[in-house]
Amino acid sequence: MKKYYDDYFSVVNKKNGKVIVHCGDENDAILMCSLKPDERTYRKEKFIMDQVIDISSTTDKQLPGQIGLPPGQYKIADREIYALEESDLELVDL
């Protein structure tokens, strides 16, 4: 069984070339074109498969080498909580 499809179909506007929808099956693209046959056409396109890299996480669920980033998990008690002082300005009711 194939894991990925090699191609797909793009339904485009004939006047300006904007893509309306991407379809995985040619019959779906034909159906979309039949709704407005004077305005739409479809074309076959290929996926460009690039290199796929699988990255596994470490035991604490964060990638190695995350320098400067906060830890994946922390307890709220580890952080100090600051409250803003109340303002002495008057409220304006619009």
> Would you write out the chain's pLDDT as a tens digit for each of its 94 residues?
445 567 899 999 999 999 999 998 999 999 999 999 999 999 999 887 777 777 765 555 555 666 666 656 656 665 666 677 788 888 888 7
Please give the span between the terminal C-alpha atoms of the chain, in angstroms, as a whole number.
Answer: 66
Threshold 0.85, pTM exceeds: no
Q: For the purposes of burial, counting CB atoms within 10 Å of the CB of 68, is it exposed (0-12), middle (13-18) or buried (19 or more)? A: exposed
Listed by start position, the domains of the chain span 7-46
Amino acid at 83: A
Per-residue pLDDT at 1 = 42
